C-alpha cells in the first residue's frame, strides 16, 4: 500500500507542478507581449538621454534627472514615490581638454578625456617625454631614475581572448583607477592611459580614478585606442617623443542629491522588500544611454508592467534609481544604510547596469545552494525568450552594499560584446540602443521578479 500511495502522491505532485508552470508561462508571456507591443521603456530612455543628457552626480542635469524619474514613476502608477537624500561628490570637467603627440617640431592632435576625479594640469598644460609601460610591476622596475619628470603611458589593452568582456575590463581597470598613484611614486608629472575599450576607434573613454593618501597628486587622462596605438608606434620609432596635454577639471564641495524610490506595496508580506534598479547618474561626456539609461528605463518598466497587468505582488517591490554609481556609489551605500536603520528585510535585489543589449540571463550572488538551484529551475520558463544563462556571479555596484545584510544579489546579463564600444565615451547615445533588445530585457527582469516574488527564496 505504501508504494501505491507514494506513486499516487508523486503523480499528484507532478501534475500540480505542471499546472503551476503552465500558469506561470502564461503570465511570463503576458509580460513579454505587453512590453513588446506597447512598452514605455524606449520612450523613457529617449526622454532621459536626449532631453536631459549627461548627468554626472552633483550636476544640474543630475538634479533634473531626479525630478524626471520621480514624475515618471508617479505617472506609471506607483503606490508611493519618495526621494532619499544623499550627499555626492561634485567633480566638473571644465573646458575641453587638449592633447597632442610631439615629435620634433611636429604636433599630432589626439583625443583625450580627463579621468573623473583627476586634478587639472597647470593652466598652460604639461609637456614631457613619455615612458610606455604595460603594468605596475614594469613601472616599479624602471623606478625614479628613468621616470622622474616624465609622463607615464599605461598601454595595456583589454584582453581580447576573454569572451566575457566585463572580465577583460576588470583585468585592465587597475591602470585607470590607480595609475596616477603608481606613476607619482616614481616621480612622474602626469599619466595617460589607453582607454578601456576592446574596439579600435577615436573615442576616449573616461571613468573614475582615486588618489592615495600621502602621494603627490598628478593629472590623469585617457586617450582613445587609436591614439594609444599611434603613440606606441611613434615611441618605438623615436624614444624621445613627447606628449602634451591640458585639462581644466576641478573637485568642488560635496553636493546634495537623491535616490528616487518607488513602491508597489506587497499584498501578503509588505515588510519584505524586492529591489529592482539601475543608476540614474552617468558620465558627463555623452547621453548615458547604455550606461545606465537602459537599466533605469527597464527597471521603471517592471513597475509599469505589474500595474498594467494587475499583478499584485506578495512582497513590496521597490524600484530604485540610484545616484552616484559612477564616481562614489554614495547612493547605493546610503540606500543600504537606511534599510539597515529601518530594519527592513530585503529578500533580493536585481540590478541592470550592463547595457541594453540582447538578454542572456542572470548572475546570482550570495544565494545558498538551494536558492540557486530554485532560480535555475526557472530555465524552462525563460528558454523560449533566449535566457539560457543563470549562473553564479553578478550582482551590481549599487545593490552591492545590501549584500552584507543577507540580500541575494542578482545582475541582469545582456550580451556583452558591444558594451565597451560605448562605455564612458561620447558615443554612448540613444541611437545606439535597439528598441527590441531593450524591451526584451525589461520583460526578462519583470518575469524574474514575478517568479521570485510568487515563490520566494
Q: Tell me the per-residue pLDDT of 264-314, one tens digit each, with 9 for 90 and over.
A: 999 999 999 999 999 999 999 999 999 999 999 999 999 999 999 999 999
- Helices 165-172 and 174-185: crossing angle, nearest 10°? 10
The answer to whether the beta carbons of residues 267 and 406 sit under 8 Å apart is no
Half-sphere exposure of 80 (CA within 13 A, CB side): 12
Residues 314-368 have pLDDT tens digits of 999 999 999 999 999 999 999 999 999 999 999 999 999 999 999 999 999 999 9
pLDDT-based confidence at residue 19 (cuts at 50, 70, 90): low
pLDDT value for 6: 64
Confidence (pTM): 0.94
Q: Is omega for the bond preceding 230 within 30 degrees of 0, making it cis? A: no
Half-sphere exposure of 452 (CA within 13 A, CB side): 30
pLDDT value for 5: 56
Q: How buried is 177 (Cβ within 10 angstroms: 0-12 exposed, 13-18 middle, 19+ buried)?
A: middle
Which single residue is written with the C-alpha cell 540610484? 322
pLDDT-based confidence at residue 394 (cuts at 50, 70, 90): confident
What kind and span of H or E run contains 414?
strand 408-414
Helices (H), 148-223: 165-172, 174-185
- Helices 294-308 and 435-455: crossing angle, nearest 10°? 60
Identify the DSSP state of 403: G
Residues 6 or more apart from 289 whose CB is under 8 A from it?
45, 49, 356, 422, 428, 429, 430, 432, 433
Report the alpha-carbon distance of residue 195 to residue 207 in Å, rounded.
Answer: 9
The residues that are catalytic are 325
Report the alpha-carbon distance of residue 425 to residue 419 in Å, rounded.
Answer: 11
Amino acid at each position: 500500500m505504501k508504494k501505491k500511495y507514494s506513486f499516487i502522491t508523486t503523480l499528484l505532485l507532478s501534475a500540480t507542478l505542471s499546472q503551476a508552470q503552465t500558469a506561470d508561462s502564461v503570465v511570463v508571456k503576458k509580460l513579454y507581449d505587453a512590453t513588446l507591443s506597447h512598452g514605455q521603456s524606449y520612450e523613457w530612455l529617449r526622454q532621459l538621454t536626449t532631453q536631459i543628457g549627461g548627468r554626472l552626480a552633483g550636476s544640474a542635469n543630475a538634479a533634473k534627472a531626479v525630478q524626471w524619474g520621480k514624475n515618471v514613476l508617479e505617472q506609471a502608477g506607483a503606490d508611493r514615490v519618495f526621494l532619499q537624500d544623499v550627499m555626492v561628490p561634485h567633480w566638473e570637467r571644465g573646458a575641453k581638454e587638449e592633447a597632442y603627440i610631439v615629435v620634433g617640431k611636429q604636433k599630432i592632435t589626439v583625443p583625450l578625456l580627463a579621468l573623473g576625479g583627476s586634478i587639472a594640469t597647470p593652466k598652460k598644460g604639461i609637456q614631457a617625454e613619455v615612458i610606455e609601460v604595460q603594468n605596475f610591476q614594469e613601472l616599479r622596475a624602471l623606478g625614479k631614475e628613468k621616470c622622474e619628470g616624465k609622463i607615464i603611458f599605461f598601454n595595456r589593452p583589454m584582453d581580447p581572448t576573454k569572451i566575457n568582456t566585463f572580465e577583460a575590463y576588470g583585468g585592465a581597470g587597475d591602470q585607470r583607477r590607480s595609475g596616477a598613484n603608481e606613476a607619482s611614486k616614481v616621480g612622474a608629472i602626469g599619466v595617460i592611459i589607453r582607454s578601456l575599450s576592446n574596439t579600435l576607434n577615436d573615442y576616449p573613454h573616461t571613468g573614475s580614478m582615486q588618489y592615495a593618501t600621502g602621494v603627490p597628486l598628478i593629472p590623469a587622462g585617457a586617450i582613445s585606442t587609436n591614439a594609444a596605438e599611434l603613440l606606441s608606434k611613434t615611441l618605438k620609432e623615436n624614444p624621445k617623443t613627447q606628449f602634451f596635454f591640458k585639462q581644466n577639471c576641478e573637485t568642488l564641495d560635496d553636493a546634495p542629491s537623491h535616490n528616487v524610490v518607488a513602491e508597489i506595496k506587497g499584498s501578503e508580506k509588505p515588510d519584505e522588500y524586492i529591489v529592482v534598479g539601475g543608476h540614474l547618474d552617468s558620465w558627463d561626456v555623452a547621453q548615458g544611454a547604455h550606461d545606465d539609461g537602459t537599466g533605469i528605463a527597464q527597471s521603471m518598466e517592471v513597475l509599469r508592467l505589474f500595474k498594467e497587468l494587475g499583478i499584485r505582488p506578495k512582497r513590496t517591490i521597490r524600484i530604485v534609481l540610484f545616484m552616484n554609481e559612477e564616481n562614489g556609489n554614495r547612493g547605493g551605500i546610503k540606500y543600504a544604510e537606511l534599510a539597515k536603520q529601518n530594519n527592513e528585510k530585503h529578500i533580493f535585489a536585481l540590478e541592470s547596469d550592463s547595457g541594453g543589449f540582447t538578454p542572456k540571463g542572470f548572475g546570482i550572488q550570495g544565494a545558498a545552494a538551494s536558492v540557486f538551484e530554485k532560480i535555475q529551475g526557472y530555465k524552462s520558463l525563460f528558454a523560449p525568450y533566449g535566457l539560457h544563462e543563470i549562473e553564479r556571479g553578478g550582482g551590481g555596484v549599487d545593490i552591492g552594499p545590501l549584500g552584507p545584510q543577507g540580500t541575494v544579489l542578482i545582475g541582469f546579463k545582456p550580451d556583452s560584446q558591444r558594451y565597451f564600444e560605448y562605455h564612458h565615451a561620447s558615443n554612448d547615445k540613444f541611437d545606439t540602443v535597439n528598441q527590441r533588445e531593450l524591451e526584451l530585457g525589461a520583460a526578462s527582469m519583470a518575469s524574474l521578479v514575478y517568479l521570485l516574488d510568487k515563490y520566494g527564496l
